[in-house]
Each structure stands twice: as C-alpha cells, then as structure tokens.
Amino acid sequence: MEIYVGILENNVDDYDLRKFFNIVGNQASFNIVTHDHGNNVKTRYGLVEVDSEKLGFQLIARFNGKLLKGRKVVVREYLRRNYSNDQRAINWRELDWPYQERRNDDRRGSLMREAVANQPMLAATS
C-alpha cells in the first residue's frame, strides 16, 4: 500500500519522513517526489510504501494532521491517476454518438461575437 504525505516543507527529505513515521526495519520505503510546473512552481509530496494495508491504515489514522517541521501534513492513501485512455472502448470511433453534435456555428464564442457585432455602436462624445 502506498501512502501520500502532502503539504511538505521544502527542506523535508526521506530521513525526516522515516523519523516522522518512526518505522523500524524494512516495513516501509520512503520517497520524496518533486514535480516542476515551470515558473518556479514546484509541488513536493512524500510517498511511503508499506507492506500491509493494516499498517497503512493505522499510519493514516495516527499521523494525518500532525506537525512535521512546523507544518500540518496530510496523510492519506495514495491513488494513482490514470492519464491514459484505458477505459475507452477499442472501437470507440465506430460507435454511434447518442448526443446532438455541436458544430462551429453553435459554439458559445461565435454566438457572443455575433451578438457584439449586431450591437449599435455608441457615438463618441467629446
């Protein structure tokens, strides 16, 4: 089971996570993940992988909302996001579309441009 540890300070490392959870031995592995979103914005979170779900849920209940280096951390089960189209049917292009199709003229942007174009121009007063 993987556990998400969020809202970490920038100076937290793997050793700090191990010390925070106080797990001895090879029952868990600790990792810090950093995503760089550009514009000097980085997202950091910790991943703790434990052997058993029972231990994982005990850690979540015990450590969620506790302070780590002066900041309350969020501890919850880590759920991987599915970025691919795994749930899409293989023959999705051949299937009938049950909804009304929207064409370029029906889009909201073109209707707004049309409404603005039909408004009378206000005379500039000087």
| 26-66 pLDDT tens trace | 788 999 998 887 788 888 999 999 999 999 999 999 999 99
Q: Token pair of 118, please?
A: 């039909």
The domain in which residue 64 lies consists of 2-77
In a domain, 86, yes or no: no
Percent above pLDDT 90 for the chain: 42
On the CB side of 54, CA atoms within 13 Å amount to 0
Given a contact cutoff of 8 angstroms between Cβ atoms, the answer to whether 74 and 66 are in contact is no
Going by pLDDT thresholds of 50, 70 and 90, the confidence category of residue 104 is: low
Q: Residue 100 pLDDT > 80, yes or no? A: no
Residues in the chain: 126
In a domain, 30, yes or no: yes
Q: Token pair of 54, please?
A: 């029972």
pTM: 0.63
In a domain, 36, yes or no: yes
Domain count, the chain: 1
